[in-house]
Amino acid sequence: MTHGRLVNFTRPIQFLAVFIGVYAALEAIYFAVPDPFLLDVVYHDIVAASADVIRLITPQEAVKTIANRLQSGGAALEVVRGCDGAGVMFMLSAAMAASSAPLWYKVAGVLAATVLVVVLNQARIVTLYYLAVYRKEWFLPVPVYFAPTFMIAVSGIFFATWAMVGRTPARAAA
Partner 1 sequence: MRRRDLGELVGRIVLAWALSSAVGLLAGRYIVGLIIPLLTLASDAISPYTTLIEYDRGVEGDRVSITAYVTRPIYVHHALTLNPGVTMTAAIDAGHVLVPLVILFTALWAPPVVRRRDRARLVVLGLPAACIVLCLTIPFVLIGKIEMMLIEDAAKAGELHSSLLVDWMIFGESGGIWLMPLVAAVLCAQSLPSAAGNENRWRRAAENSTKAAQASAPPA
Binding mask of the shown chain, residues 27 to 66, with x at each position contacting partner 1 by CB under 8 A: x--xx-----------------------------------
The CA-CA-CA angle for residues 81, 40, 34, to 5°, reads 55
Q: Which is nearer to partner 1, 6 or 63 (CB)?
A: 6
Do 75 and 132 meet the contact criterion of CB atoms below 8 Å apart?
yes
Binding mask of the shown chain, residues 77 to 116, with x at each position contacting partner 1 by CB under 8 A: ----xx---xxx-xx-------------------------
Binding mask of the shown chain, residues 144 to 173, with x at each position contacting partner 1 by CB under 8 A: xxx-xxx-xx--xx--xx--xx-x-x----
The full DSSP string for 95-155 is: HHHHSB--HHHHHHHHHHHHHHHHHHHHHHHHHHHHHHHH-GGGTTHIIIIIHHHHHHHHH
- Chain residues in the site for partner 1 (CB under 8 A): 9-13, 15-16, 19-20, 23, 27, 30-31, 81-82, 86-88, 90-91, 140-141, 144-146, 148-150, 152-153, 156-157, 160-161, 164-165, 167, 169
